[in-house]
Amino acid sequence: MASPDASDGHFLLMEQQQKPGVGKVYLVGAGPGDPGLITLRGKYLLERAEVVVYDYLANQRLLKHVPAKAQLVYAGKRGGVEHSHTQAEINQMLIDFARQGKMVVRLKGGDPFIFGRGGEEVEELAHHGIAFEVVPGVTSATAAATYAGIPITHRGYTTSVAFLTGHESPDKPTSTIDWSKIATGIGTIVIYMGIKNLPYIVKSLVDNGRSPETPVAVVRWASTPEQQSVVGTLANIVDVVRDTGIKPPALIVIGDVVNLRQTIDWFEKRPLFGKRIIVTRTREQASELVAGLEEAGASCFECSTINIEPVDDYKILDEALERIGEYHWILFTSLNAVRYFFNRLYLKGMDARDLKGPDIATVGKSTADLLLTYGINADLIPPVFTGEGLAQSLLDLGVEGRNILLPRAAAGREILPETLRGAGAQVTVAPLYRNVPVQGRTDELRAELATGRVDLITFTSSSTVKNFLDMVAAENQEELDRLLAGVKIATIGPITAKTVTDGGLTVDIQPERYTIPDLIQAIIETYR
């Protein structure tokens, strides 16, 4: 495998001992949870992996970096609950894949060498003469502290920190942790896997001289939208954890630095933190909406209601392109129209230079922005971002006798072409793609709604509304109301909003300008 950096050099000796064609195992730290917290090196390796063996704690969203043809193996290992594979089986699996000549990424939560058995895995590889490399990761201890607003060290509070495992059972005759030294010898103490043994941990610290008033934070699913954190003192944290029902995986942070959270807490203060949002969208749509909502702290359930597929026949567009110079206007009313139009244009050996004749209009700003990436500056963007808005702007300019090309979805709203024809224009509607409803995710969607955790649903087109309602498959209005009780609805524009009200639901959020950034902003304002 070609690697751009020098890190391979460390294991050159090992590689030279290998038979040619023999694979290599990369033990990669996935980071604590947020998929953005993997290292560049880790991502680089995932992008080239032939096999990925991943753990429960490694965020599965990282698997999107892995090539489609790679083999994915879930190694499980959720502490005590489910062991899909024993450690011996995992070790053997890594050896076997490497011996088959595979480029194997062993993806582990946090840092592989911190309470992750990474040491044991590479020891085994070393014994068997298998080449390996270890890529560190952001460990959950530092992430939990940081994302709970706690600097793990701070000049005014502490100059030392210890990472401990809380896994050791209290009835173990000889604990390897010397609590008498830890209790008062270390400033900040961070404990992994300690929830079950919390009463024992607290007692060990207090019995050995740590003040019962010492502040403690417990952080679950750190750095993810599901993060949950509570604070207390050594004296009451056991009660706090019991009362709030915090479960593993969680970290315990003990020390005076915990008090800084009052000032520094930043992650959980973001406006949409803790909000669960169903985002209905097409698969091909850019994830701009999801990214924007997550940036503000929301946890998104992406519900693809529509697939975009090419039409079978491009005859109308092809003919229009052959006489493109005769058109006065080309109108783009969706991002997909721009994409499919240019694909076809390029396929015919044409490019943006062939479009110098007609003026070009888009229905909104994002379509205009996309158009610019194809080298075209829109001549007209109406002040109101709907088909009606575009029609009105064109009528104001006068369309009588004008030749207008409208490349768009096979089944689109007729209002735009009809209005223009009514005013004396010749309109060619060229179908480019079809919106095909996604089948078969009904159960998943209904289960998500049934959790009662959903705060909001977003709709960005009428077809997402229709298909969402089909997918929810409520028997009647009563059942629909029950499933969506307490759930707010946000729509991108008035047409989508109308489809929502026609479907018997109520629109709660509707931005003044019909763009994704405005929709995100309107949602943030609602919850701020």
For residues 118 and 389, which CB has a smaller minimum distance to ligand SAH in the complex? Answer: 118
Candidates 244-252, 302-310, 335-343, 432-440: pick the segment binding ligand SAH (CB under 6 A). 244-252
- In whole angstroms, the minimum distance from the beta carbon of 267 to ligand SAH comes to 12
Q: Does 221 bind ligand SAH (CB under 6 A)?
A: yes
Q: Does 109 bind ligand SAH (CB under 6 A)?
A: yes
Of positions 27, 57, 94, 416, contacts ligand SAH by CB under 6 A: 57
Judge whether 359 counts as a catalytic residue.
no
Which two three-digit tokens encode residue 59?
A: 């965020």
Judge whether 171 counts as a catalytic residue.
no
77, 102, 108, 488: the catalytic one is: 77
How far is the first Cα of the chain from the last one, in angstroms, to the nearest whole number? 49
Q: Does 26 bind ligand SAH (CB under 6 A)?
A: no
Is residue 425 packed enough to be buried (19+ CB in 10 Å), middle (13-18) or exposed (0-12)? Answer: buried
Asked if 162 and 254 count as a contact pair (C-beta separation under 8 A), the reply is no
Q: Does 249 bind ligand SAH (CB under 6 A)?
A: yes
Of positions 97, 132, 192, 514, contacts ligand SAH by CB under 6 A: 192
Q: Does 222 bind ligand SAH (CB under 6 A)?
A: yes
Q: What are phi and psi of 440, to 5 degrees?
A: 85, 10
For residues 8 and 268, which CB has a smaller minimum distance to ligand SAH in the complex? Answer: 268
Largest Cα–Cα distance of the chain, in whole Å?
Answer: 94
For residues 110 and 358, which CB has a smaller minimum distance to ligand SAH in the complex? Answer: 110
In which residue are the tokens 């971002």 written? 385
Q: Which of 349, 359, 356, 449 is nearest to 403 (CA)?
A: 359
Of positions 23, 35, 116, 382, contacts ligand SAH by CB under 6 A: 116
SS3 breakdown of the chain: % helix, strand, coil, rounded to 5? 40, 25, 40
Cα–Cα dist 17/449, whole Å: 56
Single-letter residue type at 95: I
Cα–Cα dist 247/255, whole Å: 21
Q: Does 517 bind ligand SAH (CB under 6 A)?
A: no
24, 102, 103, 193: the catalytic one is: 193
In which residue are the tokens 């753990």 written? 55
Site string for ligand SAH, 73-92 (x = CB under 6 A): ------x-------------
Cα–Cα dist 367/369, whole Å: 5
Judge whether 55 counts as a catalytic residue.
yes
For residues 35 and 364, which CB has a smaller minimum distance to ligand SAH in the complex? Answer: 35
Count other Cβ atoms within 10 Å, centred on residue 466. 18
HEC profile of 259-313: HHHHHHCCCCCCCCCCCEEEEEEECCCCCHHHHHHHHCCCEEEEEEEEEEEECCC
Of positions 219, 298, 484, 487, contacts ligand SAH by CB under 6 A: 219
Q: Does 122 bind ligand SAH (CB under 6 A)?
A: no
Q: Does 228 bind ligand SAH (CB under 6 A)?
A: no
For residues 192 and 459, which CB has a smaller minimum distance to ligand SAH in the complex? Answer: 192
Single-letter residue type at 240: V
Asked if 387 and 410 count as a contact pair (C-beta separation under 8 A), the reply is no
Which two three-digit tokens encode residue 520?
A: 């995100």
For residues 57 and 278, which CB has a smaller minimum distance to ligand SAH in the complex? Answer: 57
Number of residues in contact with ligand SAH under rule CB under 6 A? 25
For residues 110 and 225, which CB has a smaller minimum distance to ligand SAH in the complex? Answer: 110
Q: Does 139 bind ligand SAH (CB under 6 A)?
A: yes
Of positions 24, 25, 33, 332, contacts ligand SAH by CB under 6 A: 33
Question: Which parts of this chain interact with ligand SAH (CB under 6 A)?
Answer: 32-33, 57, 79, 108-111, 114-116, 139-140, 144, 192-193, 219-223, 248-251
Cite the active site residues. Answer: 55, 77, 193
